[in-house]
């Protein structure tokens, strides 16, 4: 089977990197430099799966982004979201360790006040008529470069919702 894949981002540079990657892998993706809210206007209930990975903690209105993602989903569609929890452990891990100690990311990439507790994400999802299907922690192992799913959602986590 084949799939129609659309990738969106507000950054032209990110789109260019993604296009280059998909060309090297010979994968056909329709990349667009556009906001999800704009995509949602003309694509109601169009997509079987929507992913929103590692971006909600960087936007001014994450609830609006989640609503737009939900609007794009067909009934029974799946939404996968990854973000960062808001607590002392996540601040130490995602800001202090990742940006200052290990220098995995540029300083200032993350702002603690924009981190999202799972309960907040679930409230926004419920408001968008989405039902939680699963919640897992994501643990990054900096020395191996590997990621591992875990039951610990105290820093990075992945949530799965169904419309």
> Tell me: the pLDDT tens digits for 88-125?
999 999 999 999 999 999 999 999 999 999 999 999 99
Asked if residue 61 is part of any domain, the answer here is yes
What residue numbers bound the domain in which 143 lies?
Answer: 44-162
What is the 8-class DSSP label of residue 56?
G
Half-sphere exposure of 114 (CA within 13 A, CB side): 16
* pTM across the whole model: 0.94
CB 53 within 8 A of CB 82: yes
The CATH number for 136's domain is: 3.40.50.150
**Same-domain pairing of 4 and 60:** no
Asked if residue 39 is part of any domain, the answer here is no
Distance CA 8, CA 132 (A): 24
Three-state secondary-structure class, residue 95: helix
> Tell me: the pLDDT tens digits for 74-90?
999 999 999 999 999 99
Distance CA 46, CA 75 (A): 9
pLDDT value, residue 143: 84
**Same-domain pairing of 112 and 131:** yes
């Amino acid at each position: 089977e084949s799939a129609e894949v659309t990738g969106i981002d507000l950054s032209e540079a990110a789109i260019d990197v993604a296009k280059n990657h998909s060309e090297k892998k010979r994968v056909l993706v329709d990349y667009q430099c556009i906001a999800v809210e704009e995509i949602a206007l003309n694509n109601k209930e169009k997509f079987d799966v929507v992913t929103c990975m590692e971006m909600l903690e960087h936007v001014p209105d994450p609830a609006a982004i989640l609503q737009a993602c939900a609007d794009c989903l067909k009934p029974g569609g799946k939404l996968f979201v990854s973000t960062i929890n808001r607590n002392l452990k996540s601040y130490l891990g995602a800001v202090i360790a990742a940006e200052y100690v290990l220098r995995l990311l540029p300083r200032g990439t993350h702002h603690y006040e924009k981190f999202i507790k799972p309960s907040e994400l679930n409230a926004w999802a419920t408001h968008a008529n989405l039902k939680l299907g699963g919640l897992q922690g994501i643990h990054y192992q900096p020395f191996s470069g590997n990621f591992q799913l875990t039951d610990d959602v105290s820093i990075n986590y992945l949530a799965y919702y169904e419309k």
